[in-house]
Amino acid sequence: MNKAIVIGAGVAGLAVSIRLAVKGYRVEVFEKNTYPGGKLSAFTLEGYRFDAGPSLFTMPHFISELFELAGERVEDHFQFSKKEIACNYFWEDGTTFKAYSDRSRFLDEVEHQFKEPAENVAKYLDRAKQKYELTAGLFLEQSLHKMKTFLSWDTLKALFQLNTFQLQKTLHQVNIDTFRSPYLVQLFDRYATYNGSDPYQTSGMMTLIQHLESAYGTFIPKKGMVSITEELYALAKRLGVTFTFDAAVEEIVTDRKGVSGVRVNGATQNASLVVSNMDVFLTYKQLLPKALPPLKRLKQERSSSAVIFYWGISKTFKELDLHNIFFSKDYSREFKAIFQEHEVCDEPTIYVNITSKDVPNDAPKGCENWFVMINTPAHHGQNWDQIVSQLRGVVVNKLSHQLGVDLESLIECEEVLTPPLIESKTQSYMGALYGASSNDVFAAFLRHPNFSSQIKNLYFCGGSVHPGGGIPLCLLSAKIVSDLIPKL
């Protein structure tokens, strides 16, 4: 039997189902929800369309590769465009900054706005590129938990240049040692949030995240982020992958030889291999009651979560674009609240994503669809109803002040997402958006591997395992799993 079962139709589950189908496996995906995509889904509200989850799209070649593997042209199914401005930044004192995707324009803007020598920033980005090039083939594109990964020239090359990685410093320390401008320090500190971490704890290695955005750019799908899900789902079906929705897997069935299938709705579905795209913590807790859980890996600190307000706004704002950041006045206090006190800061940084800037039908004419996100701790039993009530007032007041409007009067409709809802809707343990945080210098090695060392033919993909969270890394986790499984 050459049947593969995938648990969960998140973006990594979709990608691994495509890769296994191309390899010749008969693939069936079981999904608890009634729709594919997991966090990468969408909904409509009173004439506004909202992408529910991830709003940043970079490294689109990982999507293109899946179509190429299937013998198709990505442009025939999925269209996207590169943004001229990656993000707009706003500070309380009225300082603003446009982060252009073009490197030379970005450096010119840095020098003009922050009086920071462009040469300093260029050297910083070059070193970030070097970090990525030294580690991509080793840490991101292969299993960290196979000996052959380390018996390579790439490993030796990385070890010979270990000082390049700045592991002994935090990301914040690297930034304050490099830049004179506190604005630029805060801007580059922000990249720790791309994997749900704390710039005051995570390693200086994380400057490589800046390289990914500056080198590859920021993109917007023609039909919104959810079209990533829609087109990968359609591609998988064209390859013969079958999907069963509203079907929560109850157990991963094993025998002395390893995996033998899964139990769904009381019935056993046989398979020669199983891939779990479900959060690895909940995979062990709910689906593998007889297995010995790897407690050290599973007990790692959770990444940040979020409260998201989805607002239909009856006005357009020329000063805003697709991605917009309104910074906190005290960044260190914000991250201390999130990771040490497990509280939401009373003066947080606010991210506003507006897809109607590029996808006009996402909002009625003269209006905008706002995805307003505030970083929060994971769910530790806090009173989220009370937190949301207080936080909403803070957010409305701050944005009203900085944009010079009465924002409350412009909100036509509203939906709210909290960490407990993220946990229940997407099976993300404690509502953490990226699984474990990367605050530990050895976090990459502590993430759960993409395979089980106990149970033969059991594999794991998605943001809670190696190499990490976010769309590009989830797609890479699917590639790693596929590379571990022989072609038929």
For 11-65, what is each residue's pLDDT tens digit? 999 999 999 999 999 999 999 999 999 999 999 999 999 999 999 999 999 999 9
- Burial bucket for residue 26 (CB in 10 Å: 0-12, 13-18, 19+): middle
CATH number of 108-214: 1.10.405
Q: Are residues 329 and 456 in contact, defined by beta-carbon separation less than 8 angstroms?
A: no
Using DSSP's 3-state secondary structure scheme, residue 425 falls into helix
Model pLDDT for residues 156-177, shown as the tens digit of each residue: 455 445 566 677 899 999 999 9
Q: Quick one: tokens of 80? A: 């996207």
- Chain region(s) in the chain for CATH 3.50.50.60: 3-40+225-298+436-484
Q: Are residues 430 and 301 in contact, defined by beta-carbon separation less than 8 angstroms?
A: no
Model confidence band, residue 135 (pLDDT cutoffs 50, 70, 90): confident
pLDDT at position 133:
80
Model pLDDT for residues 103-117, shown as the tens digit of each residue: 999 999 999 999 999
CATH number for 3-40+225-298+436-484: choose from 1.10.10.10, 3.40.50.720, 3.50.50.60, 3.40.50.280. Answer: 3.50.50.60
Which residues are bridge partners to 263 per DSSP? 251, 268
- Chain region(s) in the chain for CATH 1.10.405: 108-214
Q: With a threshold of 0.95, does the pTM exceed it?
A: no
More confident residue, 406 or 212: 406
Quote the distance between the C-alpha of residue 5 and its chain's center.
Answer: 24
